Amino acid sequence: MILAGLDEAGLGPRLGPLCLGCVALRAPEGSAPDTPWTHWEDAVLPAPARRGETRFAVADSKQVHARGGPSALERSVAAFFCAALDAGLSRAPLSRDETLLRLGASAGAESLRTLRWYAGDWPPLCGGASCPAEPCRRLETALARTGWAVAALQARVATEAILNGRFAAGLNKADAAWTEAADLIRGLSLSFPDEAIDLTVDKQGGRDRYHARLSALFPGCWIDVLAEGAARSEYEIRRAGPPLRLRFVPRGDSTAFPVALASMLAKALRERLMAQFNAFFAAAAPGLAPTAGYPQDAGRFLDEIRPLLPGLGIREEALIRQR
């Protein structure tokens, strides 16, 4: 069976991209979304790692980032990314665009190339000396011992340009994010047509009813509504092969291992892109403090760079999310 999770990073900011991650693990029958935390105790932690800890964290991405910064996110993500690629430690390092292509984010990679504040490459996430050897070794051992496998890591990157195009077409933020999530859900179903899929999605906002959206996503399939409420909205999609069970839950990263890892993947990608964003504007305004792009700080950042935008040839409406 396939145990999968989906989460996003960057839905609320005014600046920077929205990133989504999706993780699929091939698991023994009867496994539950929280099983890896108990079966892989020698490799992973359900909380941010303390200094000197040789295991790696798979937990709420905000907590992991707050404790250890981007490197703590990437230590875990890189291990699973290498396993998904069957990379080992000898694979040649991948560029930014190659990484995004392997993650299925080709539209995002193409859009990034058109935006000057994301110019250039980034340090490899996986491959050669960039691979975190100890997490890779621990994960490989845990997978072999328990009969699990990393079936897929997928991502989507919706840049400011992509989001503003959707807003101009009349979508709100939730609808724009659903466009990316739906693409990942559809891709998951197509990738594993002959295996039962158990997918947990971190619920965003106040929506409790998803039947109409899923019916549009899976035309011709019967969809059983198992639960719809604030605590859980769960459905079983009767497709041609084994069913796809899909649940939307709040704080999914605390109860479902694949969601926690998906949230770390999404946040790791966004942090890398925001590092490029901040480096671009800092080069034009030495001493400029970086921003995470959220409303509480975006105004300060924009006030400081606004006088520079005409000289940089950047239109303000192209830089700022319109919703």
Domain range summary for the chain, segments of one domain joined by +? 2-276
Coil, helix or strand at residue 286: coil
8-39 pLDDT, tens digit per residue, is 999 999 999 999 999 999 999 999 999 999 99
Q: How far is CA 249 from the centre of its chain?
A: 16
Other C-beta atoms closer than 10 Å to the C-beta of 236 total 15
Q: How far is CA 261 from the centre of its chain?
A: 8
214-242 pLDDT, tens digit per residue, is 999 999 999 999 999 999 999 999 999 99
Give the whole-number percent of the chain exceeding pLDDT 90. Answer: 83
Angle at 317 between CA 162 and CA 287, to 5 degrees: 105
Residue 27 and residue 148 in contact, taking contact as beta carbons nearer than 8 Å: yes
Distance (Å, rounded) from C-alpha 219 to C-alpha 261?
30
Task: Please say if the pLDDT value at position 40 is more than 70.
Answer: yes
Other C-beta atoms closer than 10 Å to the C-beta of 17 total 27
pLDDT of residue 50: 83
pLDDT of residue 90: 47
User: In which element (H, E) is residue 29 found?
Assistant: none
Task: Please say if the pLDDT value at position 89 is more than 80.
Answer: no
Task: Please say if the pLDDT value at position 54 is more than 90.
Answer: no
Distance (Å, rounded) from C-alpha 134 to C-alpha 131?
9
Supply the Cα-derived Rg of the chain in whole angstroms. Answer: 20
Other C-beta atoms closer than 10 Å to the C-beta of 307 total 9
132-181 pLDDT, tens digit per residue, is 778 888 899 999 999 999 999 999 999 999 999 999 999 999 999 999 99
Other C-beta atoms closer than 10 Å to the C-beta of 321 total 23
pLDDT of residue 101: 95
Choose which CATH entry (3.30.70.270, 3.60.15.10, 3.30.230.10, 3.30.420.10) describes domain 2-276: 3.30.420.10
Nearest to 71 by CA among 268, 270, 292: 268
Distance (Å, rounded) from C-alpha 17 to C-alpha 161?
9
Coil, helix or strand at residue 134: helix
pLDDT of residue 52: 77
pTM of this prediction exceeds 0.85: yes
59-83 pLDDT, tens digit per residue, is 999 999 999 899 889 989 999 998 8
Q: Which residues contact residue 19 at a Cβ distance below 8 angstroms, ignoring those fewer than 6 apart?
A: 8, 9, 10, 155, 156, 157, 158, 266, 267, 269, 270, 273
Quote the mean pLDDT of the chain.
93
Phi-psi region of 150 (alpha: psi -120 to 50; beta: other; left: phi over 0): beta
DSSP-derived pairing of the beta strands 233-238 and 149-158: unpaired
Residue 179 structure tokens: 């466009």
Residue 236 and residue 243 in contact, taking contact as beta carbons nearer than 8 Å: yes
Q: Which ranges in 94-192 belong to alpha helices (H)?
A: 96-102, 106-112, 133-146, 160-168, 173-191
Task: Please say if the pLDDT value at position 127 is more than 90.
Answer: no
Coil, helix or strand at residue 284: helix
pLDDT of residue 87: 47
Residue 283 structure tokens: 């080069």
